[in-house]
Chains A and B, each alone.
Chain A
Amino acid sequence: MIRLERRPAPSRAWTVATPLLAVALTMVAGGLLFAALGKDPVAAIRTIFWDPLFNDQFAAYSRPQLLVKAGPLILIAIGLSLGFRANIWNIGAEGQYIIGAICGAGVGLAFYPSESWLVFPLMVIAGGLGGWAWAMIPAILKTRFQTNEILVSLLLVYVAEQILASMSLGLMRNPEGGGFPGSRNFQQYPAASNPELIAGTGMHWGVVAAFVAVIGAYVLLNRHMLGFHIRLTGQSPRAARFAGVRPTRLVLFCLGASGALAGLAGLFEVSGPAGQISIDFNQGYGFTAIIVAFLGRLHPVGILLAGLLMALTYIGGELAQFMLGLPAAAIQLFQGMLLFFLLGVDVLSNFRIRLGRREAA
């Protein structure tokens, strides 16, 4: 018989090892899946994980994409992880991301065609505030009326999507766009655009912000009282109240911070890689970031790595669709497996496996 025995304290070694083990298991199970679909598993895995970075033919295009895609994922996931650590569940980052993008873009469009250097910083502030304000709705409803932040934040995503559709068809539609939906393109509006900072790297201001957020979150969680209180609340809410944590303030802070970071990610995306407000500029980064946050163990450095890995599977997945004709659903399944295996092997950090005769309990 195999049985699980609770460890007296969580194993540090396994906490680090489980994500790696989960990636390995995903490769094995994914390989089997691709083999069952009649594709060469080794080639498929190589196409997903290796070719985007090192293949002579594709790397020049796909390498910069890594940072372009990882940037918003990391920025959003860092914000979410703060709340998740304190058991405050913001599931609606996608909505905050959209509203941040709309607010930031709105400020930019309002100044068109200004050439002042102030336009972009103002857009950044408006983007952050927009996401923050959208997250304050579930936060205030929760603290005032004890509503469930999971439901409220999630449902507000669909409200945000409707606003986005309305904006791109109405108020923000490009007056010179020949009636097509979508706003002016920020890439043709230098004062308001978020360009690639170093050619060929994919580095833009959003990626810079993501790195700053990683460092900031690390310092907050490990060196600051607020971060300590976040961790304490997540692990032991009653002990947190005993320590003097005010739960209401913590909910406002965590939802506000995650909303603001998601809003920033939206602004950087819409003014940079996406280029314009359009009905579907949001690629579901707000939802994928939830996976990134957990894959990274809610740890800032873990999230940095998980964001890069997740971005890689996006790019590699597209490449595999294009090169090997793998169905898009198989790639999504592959990403889902990653989270599944991670949660599965997670048990090893708190339990150890014992082989042998089961003691009757």
Chain B
Amino acid sequence: MTALLTVEGLTKAYPGVLANDRVSFEVAPGEVHALLGENGAGKSTLVKMIYGLVTPDAGKMRLNGAAFAPPEPRAARASGVAMVFQHFSLFAALSVAENVALGMEDPPPMGKLAARIREVSETYGLPLAPDRLVGDLSAGERQRVEIVRCLLQDPKLLIMDEPTSVLTPQEVEILFATLRKLAAEGTAILYISHKLEEIRALCDRATILRLGKVVASCNPRERSAAELAEMMVGTKLTPPSRTETQPGEVMLKVEGLSLPSSNPFGTSLKDVTFSVRAGEVLGIGGVAGNGQDELLAALSGEAPSAGGAVSLHGTPIGRLGPLERRRIAVLAAPEERLGHAAAPDMSLTENAMLTAAEREGLAVNGFLKWPAARAFAEKVIEAFDVRTPGPGNAARALSGGNLQKFVIGREVLQRPEVLVVNQPTWGVDAAAAAAIRQALLDLAAGGTAVVVISQDLDELMEIADRFAALNEGRLSTPRPTRGLSIEEIGLMMGGAHDMEVAHVAE
């Protein structure tokens, strides 16, 4: 079989980093081809070059045997390359059909377009009502809009960038059925992911990238997830070790917590109830935007609630702000590293002052002890292996993984009784992620009650003792992680989110 897309020696350098270094691979028609790599391995840069968003410094591409060098995405689309991005580009206030029309070169009249959308979406098992407002759709349905928009162009190559990060397990199954049908019809799919089981379930071939270079190419079905992980990371990963501890008394208790979101597009918390014991890790899963940020704010004190809704050792603390909660050792690390957990332009010393002033005695009568703050920042850098020239560096100069280690380390070293973290390893390389998870487990082993909010189910299965899921601001009843099946987890996350039952037309 001749290749549909041939990539030869593609190279792209950005200041200080070689994002792609002589990358070569081939995609055959009808093949589901995985691009596998850690964050920062160069997957995104590579597909952006194929889609015409970035021009390579060197190297050649051929599409269907002809030279292919799209100067802009429009040219790539004209040649039959379509892409579904990780972050949707949709207007919430417009209907599905209007959003699709906005992405087309010369859209047909609305009536005809709506009929086409219906036709394509039914053929591929992606039911969509063209006249619904995008703002009312779930994340999974929004992704369908993007996919249908691509399919209307009748692409030969469909690029999908981390498509499952916003889906529940049930929704993932629906998506995979669609992709398999597309492939069976001859459409090649370039599937970007770092989730190994997905790739083993879906893909025919995998090209593995590490630090901008192709390090291996294989049939993922013939390899174990551990083998793939090793190829991706380059070293053997030791899964976090945990010591069995008997959970102690209840530390943090949340009872009937209802809180309107401060953000008009946010999700209000509705009657959230759970408790965490000393030495226990509670994992809270859920698709993004189902109240994770709001829950963290309610626990950190940024969003005060009715006094009794949150309590520590039975004492109500719901009305306390972040400072008062830190005083009683209730600490938190939000998801957004730059701009929420840390101030981007401030030094690490200043960022240490940001949350540690109270517990580490970095201020006396309001006057700041900078040498002490610097020493504490150095302690965090040392203990958590943060790669940086020193505590004087600005937070934004650090890589995502290093800054995340700093942010987590800053809270862990303050000896919390309760620690709440949101997305502790999002966008972090595997080694740093493992270190962070180990630190959270060690903290729990020392008697801290830990709440981990995460969209990474594998992570939660690995470190959590009990699991609960957020769905539209409601929290499911926490259940022991051990013995929980992926179907049960999916149902806790909201199942297929009331999406119409999809059947791929045979």
Contact = CB atoms under 8 A, between A and B. Distances in A.
A54 interface: no
Nearest to A350: B345
A8 B55 CA distance: 23
Contacts of A232: 343, 346, 354
B366 A225 contact: yes
Contacts of B302: 241-242
A55 interface: no
Contacts of A225: 357, 363, 366-368
Given A225-B366, A226-B366, A244-B326, A236 B355 contact: no
A238 B340 contact: yes
Given A225-B368, A242-B334, A9 B345 contact: yes
A246 B324 CA distance: 12
Nearest to B343: A236
A9 B394 contact: yes
B363 A235 contact: no
Interface residues of B, number: 37
Contacts, number: 78
Contacts of B363: 225
A144 interface: no
B339 interface: yes
B397 interface: yes
Interface in B247-287: none
A-B residue pairs, 7 tightest by C-beta: A244-B323, A360-B55, A9-B394, A236-B343, A244-B322, A8-B397, A225-B366
B419 to A, nearest CB: 14
B15 interface: yes
A9 B341 CA distance: 18
Contacts of B342: 236, 239
B20 interface: no
A5 interface: yes
Given A9-B396, A10-B345, A225-B366, A242 B322 contact: yes
A257 B393 CA distance: 32
A236 B338 CA distance: 9
A23 B332 CA distance: 47
A13 interface: no
Interface in A194-242: 223-226, 228, 231-232, 235-236, 238-242
B300 interface: yes
Contacts of A228: 350, 353, 368
Given A226-B366, A235-B343, A239-B342, A361 B394 contact: no
A5 B370 CA distance: 32
Interface of B: 15, 54-55, 57, 71, 300-302, 321-323, 326, 332, 334, 336, 339-346, 350, 353-355, 357, 363, 366-368, 370, 393-394, 396-397
Given A5-B15, A228-B353, A232-B354, A223 B339 contact: no
**What secondary structure prevails in chain B residues at the interface with A?**
loop
A171 interface: no
B340 A243 contact: no
B393 A9 contact: yes
B242 to A, nearest CB: 29
Contact of B340 (A8, A242, A244): A242
Given A236-B342, A242-B341, 9 more contacts: A8-B397, A9-B396, A224-B368, A225-B368, A236-B340, A241-B322, A242-B302, A242-B334, A243-B323
20 contacts: A9-B394, A10-B345, A224-B368, A225-B357, A235-B345, A236-B342, A236-B345, A236-B346, A238-B336, A239-B342, A239-B354, A240-B343, A241-B322, A242-B355, A243-B322, A244-B301, A244-B321, A244-B323, A359-B55, A360-B55
Given A226-B366, A235-B346, A238-B340, A9 B397 contact: yes
B394 to A, nearest CB: 4
A103 B461 CA distance: 68
Nearest to B358: A244
Interface string A290-305: 0000000000000000
A40 B249 CA distance: 85
Given A9-B396, A225-B363, A242-B322, A361 B55 contact: yes
Nearest to B357: A225
A179 B300 CA distance: 66
A225 B353 CA distance: 9
A236 B344 contact: yes
Contacts of A10: 345, 394
Contacts of B370: 223
The CB with the most chain A CB atoms within 10 A, among B300, B322, B370, is that of B322
Contacts of B393: 9
Contacts of B346: 231-232, 235-236
Interface string A1-40: 0000100111000000000000000000000000000000
Nearest to B300: A242
Nearest to A226: B366
Contact of B339 (A224, A236, A360): A236
A244 B330 CA distance: 13
The CB with the most chain A CB atoms within 10 A, among B341, B353, B354, is that of B354
A244 B342 CA distance: 13
Given A225-B366, A232-B354, A238 B339 contact: yes
Contacts of B322: 241-244
A8 B300 contact: no
Contact of A235 (B300, B344, B366): B344
A244 B366 CA distance: 14
A56 to B, nearest CB: 48
The CB with the most chain A CB atoms within 10 A, among B345, B350, B367, B396, is that of B345
Contacts of A360: 55, 71
A239 B55 CA distance: 36
A242 B354 CA distance: 8
The CB with the most chain B CB atoms within 10 A, among A225, A239, A359, is that of A239
A155 B370 CA distance: 41
A241 B367 CA distance: 20
A250 B32 CA distance: 56
B394 A8 contact: yes
Nearest to B54: A361
Contacts of B301: 244
Contacts of A223: 367-368, 370
Nearest to B366: A225
Contacts of A239: 339-343, 354
Nearest to A219: B367
Nearest to B323: A244
A241 B303 CA distance: 10
Contacts of A361: 54-55
A21 B20 CA distance: 40
A355 to B, nearest CB: 14
A4 to B, nearest CB: 12
A322 to B, nearest CB: 46
Nearest to A244: B323
A44 B102 CA distance: 59
Interface string A307-339: 000000000000000000000000000000000
The CB with the most chain A CB atoms within 10 A, among B55, B334, B368, is that of B368
Contacts of A238: 336, 339-340
B73 to A, nearest CB: 13
B321 A224 contact: no
A243 B366 contact: no
B43 to A, nearest CB: 18
A238 B368 CA distance: 21
Contacts of B57: 359
B368 to A, nearest CB: 6
